[in-house]
């Protein structure tokens, strides 16, 4: 896989380029095999088989049963579906009305909880330390008989910090609290075994792993109370109405197969890129470029801050400078791009607004090259010269 030399794409946590094999696999389902999988004739049977085979691929990847996988539109929809679905389906069965998440969750989780709170629930937020790791001792204090559901992400999308989801799942299991993890940034990149971890539910998204946009999936452990978010037909075992996006789902399953077979080598390669990038940054400006993604972080994500004491802190202008020089990066979460609001994640790590405003995110893919990192470091050298106070 290659990208045009003049454009270096280091924003793979926002979205990824579709893998050529995924694209190829999808094409027949965009023209030749167009049947509705709910139809009983041969056209429908063809796409029904593709749908169920795709479900098996995704289920096998996380060691779930196919009946525990629900396809949906995006990672965001999966998160909304799981959090609303469990909360609302439990309302009649239990008096538990407290939910918790962390201060660094994606907006899909934070906004879902806000919406659920309009229906008689309250939420608590676990804080993080300056390495963006959740405070496990604080989380322990939240655990009581009124807590229904907790949602803690696996890998943070801005800093790459990895959260101890095994440990959290173990703790919550003892107290019979449902546990969802937003695995959008880890799915396809690290091994996930839902049975071993012991999570109740997990969200993933296709376009983060070289699959098409517009497809996500939810794993929900069998027996978990779960109401639909999208009401309509009986698709996805009555949990998600609407004709399935077959080409997208087939593409997602192909992306999962590729991710599974290349996971180890991809991880080793991007880790090398990330380390070289950090070494290069340190050589440029020593302590004046601060690394937010240190221990226990994903090799795919590197968050750095241009120290406000030394640089004019304006991530938008920095990103523009990089863009003019052919480099695509991000100032935190993709959905925050284009706004000047400081990242809630960087602030949650105890940093100031000017620190947050000087923060850039570089995120890697296996099709990035060493040469691209070298070119990017050259451009960054020019950038720091220009932005130094
Ligand atoms: N959760 C995390 C951690 C993410 O990084 C993202 C996307 O950036 C999402 C959820 C939302 O996924 P999607 O873009 O598929 O809606």
Q: Which residue lies with its CA nearest to atom 8 of ligand 1?
A: 14
pLDDT confidence of residue 334:
47
- Map residue 107 onto helix, strand or coil: helix
pLDDT confidence of residue 3:
44
Is residue 110 within 8 Å of 133, Cβ to Cβ? no
CB atoms within 10 A of CB 4: 8
Ligand 1 atom with the smallest distance to the CA of 153 is 3
Of 72, 117, 217, 335, the active-site residue reads 335
Among 206, 254, 221, 248, smallest CA distance to 37 is for 248
Q: Which residues in the chain belong to E strands, given as ranges? A: 8-9, 69-72, 98-102, 122-126, 147-151, 178-182, 201-205, 216-220, 289-291, 301-306, 327-328, 359-363
Q: Which residue lies with its CA nearest to atom 14 of ligand 1?
A: 75
Pairing outcome for strands 69-72 and 8-9:
unpaired
Q: How many angstroms separate the CA atoms of 39 and 124, rounded?
A: 45
| Residue ranges of the chain that CATH labels 3.40.640.10 | 20-258
Q: What single string gives the DSSP state of each residue in 369-383?
A: -HHHHHHHHHHHHHH
Q: Who's near 92: CB < 8 A, 6+ residues apart?
A: none
Cα(79) to centroid of ligand 1, in Å? Answer: 9
Cα(386) to centroid of ligand 1, in Å? Answer: 33
pLDDT confidence of residue 340:
63
Ligand 1 atom with the smallest distance to the CA of 156 is 3
Identify the residues whose C-beta falls under 6 Å from ligand 1: 74-76, 106, 108, 153, 157, 182, 184-185, 205, 216, 334
Cα(106) to centroid of ligand 1, in Å? Answer: 7
DSSP 8-state secondary structure symbol assigned to residue 185: T
**Is 335 assigned a catalytic role?**
yes
DSSP 8-state secondary structure symbol assigned to residue 368: -
User: Any idea which architecture 20-258 has in CATH?
Assistant: 3-Layer(aba) Sandwich (3.40)
What are the b/e assignments for 23-43, b being 16+ CB within 10 Å?
Answer: eebbeebeeebebebeeeeee
Q: How many angstroms separate the CA atoms of 159 and 141, rounded?
A: 26
Q: How many angstroms separate the CA atoms of 249 and 54, rounded?
A: 7
Domain 8-17+262-387: which CATH number of 3.90.1150.10, 3.40.1160.10, 3.40.50.2000, 3.30.1300.10:
3.90.1150.10
Greatest CA separation for the chain: 69
Cα(75) to centroid of ligand 1, in Å? Answer: 5
Give the tokens for residue 367: 């099709």
DSSP 8-state secondary structure symbol assigned to residue 213: S
| Residue ranges of the chain that CATH labels 3.90.1150.10 | 8-17+262-387
- How many Cα atoms are found within 13 Å in the side-chain-facing hemisphere of 57? 21
Torsion of CA 355, 356, 362, 363, to 10 degrees: 140
Backbone angles phi and psi of 181, in degrees to 5 = -120, 135
Q: Who's near 12: CB < 8 A, 6+ residues apart?
A: 208, 300, 363, 364, 365, 368
Residues (pLDDT < 50) of the chain are: 1-4, 334-336
Q: How many angstroms separate the CA atoms of 351 and 332, rounded?
A: 14
DSSP 8-state secondary structure symbol assigned to residue 230: B
N residues, the chain: 389
Cα(142) to centroid of ligand 1, in Å? Answer: 26
Cα(152) to centroid of ligand 1, in Å? Answer: 14
Q: How many angstroms separate the CA atoms of 298 and 303, rounded?
A: 11
Ligand 1 atom with the smallest distance to the CA of 77 is 16
Q: How many angstroms separate the CA atoms of 24 and 257, rounded?
A: 14
Q: Which residue lies with its CA nearest to atom 15 of ligand 1?
A: 75
Mutation to probe ligand 1, out of 73, 104, 106, 112 (largest number of atoms < 8 A from CB): 106
Ligand 1 atom with the smallest distance to the CA of 14 is 8
DSSP 8-state secondary structure symbol assigned to residue 341: P
Ligand 1 atom with the smallest distance to the CA of 105 is 3
pLDDT confidence of residue 339:
57
């Amino acid at each position: 896989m290659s990208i045009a030399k003049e454009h270096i794409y280091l924003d793979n946590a926002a979205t990824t380029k579709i893998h050529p094999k995924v694209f190829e696999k999808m094409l027949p389902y965009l023209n030749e095999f167009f049947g509705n999988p709910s139809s009983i004739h041969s056209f429908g049977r063809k796409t029904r088989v593709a749908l169920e085979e795709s479900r098996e691929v995704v289920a096998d990847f996380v060691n779930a049963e196919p009946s525990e996988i629900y396809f949906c539109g995006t990672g965001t929809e999966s998160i909304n579906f799981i959090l609303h679905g469990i909360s609302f389906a439990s309302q009649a069965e239990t008096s538990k009305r407290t939910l918790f998440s962390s201060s660094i969750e994606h907006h899909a989780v934070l906004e879902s909880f806000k919406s659920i709170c309009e229906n008689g629930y309250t939420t608590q937020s676990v804080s993080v330390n300056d390495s963006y790791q959740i405070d496990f001792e604080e989380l322990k204090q939240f655990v009581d008989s009124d807590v229904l559901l907790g949602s803690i992400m696996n890998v943070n999308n801005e800093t790459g910090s990895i959260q101890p989801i095994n440990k959290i799942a173990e703790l919550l299991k003892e107290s019979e609290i449902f546990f969802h993890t937003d695995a959008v940034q880890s799915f396809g990149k690290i091994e996930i075994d839902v049975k071993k971890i012991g999570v109740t539910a997990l969200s993933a998204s296709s376009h983060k792993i070289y699959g098409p946009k517009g497809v996500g999936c939810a794993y929900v452990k069998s027996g978990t109370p779960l109401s639909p978010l999208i009401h309509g037909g009986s698709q996805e075992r009555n949990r998600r109405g609407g004709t399935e996006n077959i080409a997208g789902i087939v593409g997602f399953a192909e992306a999962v197969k590729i991710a599974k077979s290349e996971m180890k080598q991809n991880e080793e390669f991007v880790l090398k890129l990330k380390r070289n990038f950090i070494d290069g940054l340190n050589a440029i400006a020593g302590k004046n470029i601060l690394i937010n993604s240190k221990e226990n972080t994903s090799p795919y994500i590197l968050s750095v801050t241009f120290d406000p004491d030394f640089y004019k802190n304006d991530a938008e202008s920095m990103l523009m400078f990089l863009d003019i020089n052919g480099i695509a990066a991000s100032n935190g979460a993709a959905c925050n791009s284009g706004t000047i609001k400081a990242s809630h994640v960087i602030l949650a790590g105890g940093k100031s607004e000017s620190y947050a405003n000087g923060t850039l995110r570089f995120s890697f893919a296996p099709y990035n090259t060493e040469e691209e990192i070298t070119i990017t470091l050259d451009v960054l050298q020019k950038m720091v010269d220009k932005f130094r106070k």
